[in-house]
């Protein structure tokens, strides 16, 4: 079973920007990413930390899997 990668907030933001998300706003250390897909506004919240805990990464995986196909999610979050 593949393992979760160790990612920072900046790395996640760059990876999601490749999927069409843009930085929408920031409050404290949390950055809100948004993209419009058809009539739907898709929003993700990413903590801007140097190291994101595994539990938080799992929550981001669940959150982003509503908008991004599973094969791309696996490439972003899991080791080969």
Pairwise CA distance, residues 27 & 40, whole Å: 23
pTM across the whole model: 0.88
Partners of 35 in beta bridges: 42
pLDDT of residue 2: 86
Task: Please name each of the domains of the chain with its CATH number.
Answer: 12-77 (3.30.920)
What's the confidence (pLDDT) of residue 38? Answer: 87
DSSP β-bridge partners for residue 37: 40
Beta strands in the chain (DSSP E): 22-27, 30-37, 40-47
Per-residue confidence in pLDDT tens, the chain, 80 aa: 689 999 999 999 999 999 999 999 999 999 999 999 889 999 999 999 999 999 999 999 999 999 999 999 999 999 97
């Amino acid at each position: 079973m593949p393992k979760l990668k160790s990612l920072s907030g900046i790395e996640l933001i760059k990876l999601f920007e490749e999927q069409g998300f843009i930085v929408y706003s920031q409050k404290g250390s949390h950055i809100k990413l948004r993209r419009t897909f058809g009539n739907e506004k898709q929003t993700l919240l990413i903590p801007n930390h140097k190291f994101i805990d595994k539990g938080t990464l799992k929550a981001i995986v669940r959150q982003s899997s509503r908008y991004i196909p599973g094969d791309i999610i696996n490439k972003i979050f899991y080791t080969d």
